[in-house]
Structure 1
Amino acid sequence: MYEELESNFFLIVKLNKAKAFGLVFDAYWNALYKQAYKKVHCNDLAQDLVQDVFVSLWDKIELLDAERSVLAYLFAILRNKILKLYEKDEIRLRYALSVTSSASPSDVHSQNTLLEKELKAIIDIEVARMPIRMKEIYMLKKEDDLSIKQIAEDLSLSEQTVKNQLQMAYQRLRTKIKNYDSSLALLALFIAKHL
Structure 2
Amino acid sequence: MIFFYLLRSDKNKAFEKLFEEFWQPLYRKAYSKVQSEDLAKDLVQDVFVAFWDNLDTLTQDANIPAYLHGILRNKILKIFEKDAVRLKHALQICPADALLDFCSHERFLEKELKLIIEGEVNRMPSRMKEIYVLKKDDNFSIKQIAEELGLSEQTIKNQLQNAYHRLRLKLREYNPDLAVIFLLLTKILFFFKSI
Measure how far apart 1:112 and its partner are.
6.2
Normalised to the residue count of structure 2, the TM-score between the two structures is: 0.56
Cα 1:144–1:45 shift into 2, 3 Å? closer
Tell me which residue corresponds to 1:88: 82
Cα 1:93–1:60 shift into 2, 3 Å? same
Measure how far apart 1:144 and its partner are.
11
Deviation above 6 Å: which 4+ runs of structure 1? none
Tell me which residue corresponds to 2:50: 56
Larger radius of gyration: 1
Please give the alpha-carbon distance, in whole angstroms, between the structure 2 residues aligned to 1:137 and 1:53: 34
From 27, 36, 45, the equivalent of 1:33 is 27
| Partner SS for 2:54 | helix
If asked which structure has higher relative contact order (CA below 8 Å, sep 6+), I would say 1
Aligned pair count? 129
Tell me which residue corresponds to 1:69: 63
Letter of the aligned partner of 2:33 in structure 1?
K
User: Deviation digits for residues 115-165 of structure 1, max 9, x if unmatched?
Assistant: 68xx8xxx9xxxxx99322111112233599xxxxxxxxxxxxxxxxxxxx
The unaligned stretches of length 5 or more in structure 2 are 111-160, 190-195
Measure how far apart 1:36 and its partner are.
0.7
Please give the alpha-carbon distance, in whole angstroms, between the structure 1 residues aligned to 2:8 and 2:100: 58
Tell me which residue corresponds to 1:188: none
Letter of the aligned partner of 1:21 in structure 2?
F
Cα 1:10–1:143 shift into 2, 3 Å? closer
Letter of the aligned partner of 2:54 in structure 1?
K
User: Deviation digits for residues 78-124 of structure 1, max 9, x if unmatched?
Assistant: 11111111001001111112222xx5x6xx44x668x68xx8xxx9x
